A and B are shown apart, each in its own frame.
Chain A
Amino acid sequence: MDGPLVQVSGLKKSYGSIPALRGADLEVRAGERYGLIGPDGAGKTTLLRILCGLVVSDGGEVRVLGHDPVTETHKIKDGIGYMPQRFSLYPDLTVAENLRFFADLYRVPAAQRESRTARLLEFSRLGPFRDRRAGALSGGMKQKLALSCTLVHTPQLLILDEPTTGVDPVSRGEFWDILDELKAEEGVTQLVTTPYMDEASRCDRVQLMYQGSSLAEGSPAEVAASFPGRLVRVYTADPYAAAGSLKRTGKFQSVQLFGDRIHVVVEPAQAAVPGVMAIVAQIRQILEQAAIPFTDLHEARPDLEDIFVQRIGEITND
């Protein structure tokens, strides 16, 4: 179809008194991979469920493949494949039986079903396990089977809700390789949610979501470039002590802990006056005075995670 596959504007949904979506907007174009990025409770799952017609919104416009998912559910079902966050296949049926079941429910003709199943098993490398019960598969294989079942009717639009959460890193990588193959070979439009920033960078466009609304949208590079100011990364064996002593000086707008490293945000105005190099030197001096060892200290390009922290900081400061 022409035009965007998904169009959402001003979408609202509350569960009781708890708002899940506060006026969300979304546009997914044909052939792209769109990522909804955000922590738990951002409203990503609710948004996807509304698109599939599983949840009725409280207000706003929704069009999926040009139809209203509530009143015209049956018109969109053949065109979308939805993979929920939780494994939702029959654990007591085998890989082949699950695939056959969903193929038949989607009325895939027998001849097509055979070739499609063969292709999906090849794609997912589940061929050797076709007679194994789904419940006995590993976490990564389960996700690949779930993906295969949502693809069995060759949908235009694939909707994936945190497909790799709880999956080991190797399987995660494999899963995303499959998504890449699908996009390249079949041109399937993909709408994916993920809490992982490295996965977000594999999307064509992303939207950062937080508490039911959008923080930023664009290609991962665009979004990262929208970071105001500069960033200095400090790698240290004792990040807590380092962050503490940097904060105590009161010279930096924002000092954030990221596991074994610290991000020091340098405001645009500050960055221009003494120069980033001077600030790096200043940080070095503070840490040396406090006798806190560090392994590396350099200016860095902000990534999606930095944008996230910065935007959330803006909201909470307001």
Chain B
Amino acid sequence: MERTKTNPVIFTLLIIISLIFIAPVIIVLINSFKGQFYISDTPFKLPTDKTFVKLINYTNGIQKIKFFSAFFYSLFITVFSVCGILFFTSMTAWYIIRCKNKVSNLLYYLFVFSMIVPFQMVMFTMSKIANVMRLDNPLGIIVIYIGFGSGLSIFMFSGFIKSIPLDIEEAATIDGCNPIQTFFRIILPILKPTAITVGILNAMWIWNDYLLPYLVIGNKYKTIPIAVQYLQGGYGSRDMGALMSMLILSIIPIIIFYLSCQKHIIKGVVAGSVKG
């Protein structure tokens, strides 16, 4: 019989590796409390009486990049894009799988094809079209995210829908449900686990996305990644203290989100590894 016995060598090794993994964030955290001129030269020193500046970097950074408005834009765009993606692509995936004909087949392959196209291929033309169609605002960019995120989402929903037995839907039809009722009352509840996975994958992508929002709405509306990049400014002029504090503030929401639904996130990301 095997007993659960922890090997002390491996355990210590894992502790050391964990410290290496956490260290970069801790170093940034420590530096976020130091005066801006004491950061670049001595990043590995703890703050002293002379270099400790309390929360000045945080108040400076929040003012400089309007952090709370960036946080609001990021949150607004992420939440509504993810909801939109889940709502629309689950319907479309069900339609494509259940209504087999040439059109739906073609649609399916187009969506799958879009998954392998790198963003650089469409970045210029997409941002021009968004501009012409007046989609260059926080509401309009949601349409872009639904369109660009639909490939992976439809692919993942379809994979699951194929495994749902047809009998359930047929029974619903016989009981007098029209397709809309069948979808919302019968199918949508069954899709919940896949929806969580698809939602998490899209949320992580949209929350961290830099280039797409920068090109589409970056002039007027700054999301968190755009605001952090903006702080970089011209050479020599950047405020290292503000940068450190803003890095910390942009990591905190992610860590809260991660710790509160860790199981779903890890499961979701692994399930999404098919994307490639």
- Verify that A and B bind, or say they do not: no
B residues lining the A interface (CB < 8 Å): none
A residues lining the B interface (CB < 8 Å): none
